[in-house]
Amino acid sequence: MSDTLDLLIINGRVMTPGGLVEADIGIAGGKIVSIGALSGGAAAETFDAKGLHVLPGVIDSQVHFREPGLEHKEDIAHGTKAAIKGGVTSIFEMPNTSPLTLDAATLQQKLDIAAETAWSDHAFFMGGNHENADQLSVLEKLPGCAGVKIFMGSSTGTLLAKDDDVIAAVLANGNRRVSVHAEDEDRLISRQGIATDAESAEAHPDWRDVESAVRATKRIVKLARDAGRRVHVLHISSADEMDILAEHKDLITVEVTLNHLTMAAPECYERLGAFAQMNPPVRDASHREGLWAAVRNGIVDVFGSDHAPHTIEEKERPYPSSPSGMPGVQTSLPLLLDHMNAGRLSLERLVDLTSHGPQRIFNIAGKGRIAVGYDADLVLVDLAAKREITDEWIASKCGWTPFDGVKVTGWPMATILRGKIVVRDDEVLGEPSGKPVRFVDIMEPA
């Protein structure tokens, strides 16, 4: 242990890789340097965590912060502030912002913005399509790149990669795990009339039906097999897809979102209208139960928020001109803690899906665990705290959440990023200090 610690956390119940223990945590230089009985040690600052559980900071591997620099849109500053308020210490942003992330220059532009404004640590996906497929083996190794993302359905501009030959070209170039939005674009186009003839967003899961997801999922599994390439399928929304993916866990990893695990059609559309609209859609309760079964059975590897906020004015447009997407990076952990208290998963499984899982899937260096030598990224939670999620609590620029008024048991009381207390009792502290996430498979020489 260092002679003088920067921060000493005492009296907490700590979720270590070996399980839950009563221990203190010593932090110096942004890293965990000791775990044990440390209350007599010298420290510049001491945090008494009595009554709290100390968990690894959440790693949210799917967020969309939209166009940088546009006044009414989400940006990195607001999105990452929402993240740390919700106990999220690292985020991976998707490439469908403006400009599209398809080259080194755009990736660097995002990193430059984040260096000044990001409250959390961060990485950015490189979009994969016909324009850059032959360059991806180089682009995926750039510092700050989380990997490659393919949109098989309904993306922005040229980022769409709907045809098998394009997807195969992307998978043939590079080695890192490829993340995929799996909806079949041709089927969506053929069923567009269902949406244009509809009077409300209740038609959304009918237009973007289970078959459109199943077709795309079957295709990406076959293409991944043919290429021998690891693939991560995002925001799985149906029980049918989980049955398919269960047979391919040697190559395919799986994400689910809290929206699909918490809401169900038709109730969410009757209550929220287009404010519950996302791609792929929230489906009926039978699919929601199928997703929970996949969580219990180990098919699911990670939770993601798919944080994709739009303004209230945009969401109030008549369907289907209303945009798809909801904020979620700030509400995921409170909702998960409530699900845990309701008996749907254990605390150990929650931590695996929010921290250990992303670290394994994406080969993140030095994050995702409370262990000596790892970054001191922590969230301190009160498992018994009863709170209400409200629009007023939301830090995203959109200023709303589909979970406004939802009462939960379990709440993040403090967030620590690389040893620095950045949130305490819902108050954001200090200045933005986020840094790029590092990855084991693209580590630069010392």
The predicted-structure confidence for 311-366, as pLDDT tens digits, reads as follows 999 999 999 999 999 999 999 999 999 999 999 999 999 999 999 999 999 999 99
The reply to whether 375 falls in a domain is no
The reply to whether 435 falls in a domain is no
Spot the catalytic one: 24, 184, 301, 306. 306
Amino acid 71: pLDDT? 64
Residue type, 210: V
Residue 92 is part of which domain span? 58-362
Give the pLDDT confidence of 197-226 residue by residue, as tens digits.
998 999 999 999 999 999 999 999 999 999
CB 56 within 8 A of CB 20: no
The reply to whether 263 falls in a domain is yes
User: Which DSSP string do the residues of 27-72 spell out, in sequence order?
Assistant: EETTEEEEEES-TTS-BS-EEE-TT-EEEEPEEEEEE---STT-TT
User: How many structural domains comprise the chain?
Assistant: 1
Question: Taking the CB of residue 34, how many other CB atoms lie within 10 A of it?
Answer: 18
CB 145 within 8 A of CB 120: no
In the predicted model, is pLDDT for residue 1 greater than 60? Answer: no
Give the pLDDT confidence of 25-69 residue by residue, as tens digits.
999 999 999 999 997 789 999 999 999 999 999 999 999 997 655
At 124, list the tokens.
């950015």
How large is the angle between the packed helices 104-117 and 76-85, nearest 10 degrees? 60
- DSSP-derived letter for residue 142 is S
pLDDT band for position 300 (cuts 50, 70, 90): very high
- Give long-range contacts, CB 8 A cutoff, 24+ apart: 423-432: 423/84, 423/85, 423/87, 426/85, 426/393, 428/81, 428/84, 428/85, 428/119, 428/395, 432/77, 432/80, 432/116, 432/117, 432/118, 432/119
* pTM (global) more than 0.95: yes
306 catalytic, yes or no?
yes
The reply to whether 6 falls in a domain is no
Could you identify the residue written with the tokens 């567009």?
Answer: 192
Question: What's the CATH code of the domain at 233?
Answer: 3.20.20.140
CB 8 within 8 A of CB 351: no
Computed on alpha carbons and rounded to an integer, the radius of gyration of the chain in Å comes to 21
The reply to whether 162 falls in a domain is yes
The reply to whether 380 falls in a domain is no
CA distance 82 to 100: 23
> What is the torsional sign of CA 197, 201, 205, 209?
positive
The reply to whether 274 falls in a domain is yes
The reply to whether 445 falls in a domain is no
Residue type, 190: S
